[in-house]
Structure 1
Amino acid sequence: MTFAMHNLQEIDARTLKQWMDQHEVLLIDVREPQEFAQSHIPEAKLMPITKFDPAKVPRPQGQKIVLQCQSGKRSTQAAHQMLQAGFSNVIHLQGGLAAWKAAGYPTQVKQSINMLRLAQILTGSFVLFGTSLGSTLTPLFVILSIIVGGSLVLVGVSND
């Protein structure tokens, strides 16, 4: 065990929640952007481990810096980088986001539509649009529905 490891502190989710409620902490999430978008602790600042640079970590006065990831492994790596860069008393959330969720604390989720659902909505709209216009204006619009339907069949059969 090196000297730097002696300065690495672990806290549990309850302690982090108390500190956050008292505005005593800067929480840094070191997961990747897509993980962060799916679910994150409110007020967490994203600094992915793949681009993590201790020199870019803010040093707010009067606040503790806590690192967090999904389970605690990446936040431990980031904490060691910070200790090697000269930070003292680096803290990370033991058990990470999983522990936070297990304790029943809230997370924020980015509400976005996934690509498959978007494709289904657009495809259905084209078929509906083509069929509606084909039955009211001119039968030529039915060709739009035939093209879209045929494309779906082709993609399904080819398994691409």
Structure 2
Amino acid sequence: MLCRTLCYTGIMADDITESPLPEIDPATALDWQMRGDAVILDVREASEYDFENIPGSVLLPLSFLDPKRAPAIFHNKVVVICAMGKRGAAAQKQLTEYGMLEIYNLTGGIAAWKKAGLEVQGGKYEAMDYSI
């Protein structure tokens, strides 16, 4: 399947090199946050963040992310988080391409965080209010 897609575009599979960006598991992210070694940057939209978020995380939606205006908190390691990891990877790529170092994507996003039994907070989450 990959060959068909790449052959159609004229790109040879051998010409593609992947440079995977670093990912991190929820337990390590929590450890870094608790020691003050990392900031957890939530790139979901405000409504998602209000529903549930990681205590101590910073909200900066991907739709507003501008690496040139990155807050001063980025002098530490940054763990980027979203719902499942896709937007986190996009934000991680933007920040890394801008020259920021030690940007990690939380593997599996907040879903993995909750699956690991780690704490989340948020008005609607605490009230179990799933209305839109």
- TM-score bracket for this pair, using the shorter chain length: 0.7 to 0.9
Tell me: CA distance 1:59–1:13, structure 2 relative to 1, closer, same or farther (3 Å).
Answer: same
User: 1:23 and 2:36 equivalent?
Assistant: yes
Q: CA separation in 2, counterparts of 1:85 and 1:12?
A: 24
Query: Take 1:61 and 1:71, find their aligned partners in 2: how far apart are those partners?
Result: 22
Give 1:107's aligned amino acid.
V
Shift of 1:62: 6.3
Amino acid at match of 1:15: T
> Letter of the aligned partner of 1:39 in structure 2?
E
Query: Could you say which structure has the greater relative contact order, defined with CA pairs below 8 angstroms and 6 or more residues apart?
Result: 2
Q: Is 2:39–2:74's contact at 8 Å kept on the other side of the alignment?
A: no
For residues 113-132 of structure 1, what are the structure 2 equivalents within 5 Å? none
Counterpart of 1:39? 52
Which residue number corresponds to residue 149 of structure 1?
A: none
How does the TM-score come out when normalised to structure 1?
0.63
Instruction: Provide, for residues 8-56 of structure 1, a one-character-per-residue CA deviation record: whole Å limited to 9, x for no partner.
Output: 2100001011111211111110000000000000111111111111122
Which residue of the partner structure matches residue 100 of structure 1? 113
Tell me the equivalent position of 2:102: 89
Aligned counterparts of 2:34 and 2:99: Cα–Cα separation in 1? 28
Unaligned runs of 5+ in 1: 117-160
Structure of larger gyration radius: 1
Q: Which of 15, 22, 37 in structure 2 is aligned with 1:9?
A: 22
Greater fraction of residues in helix:
1
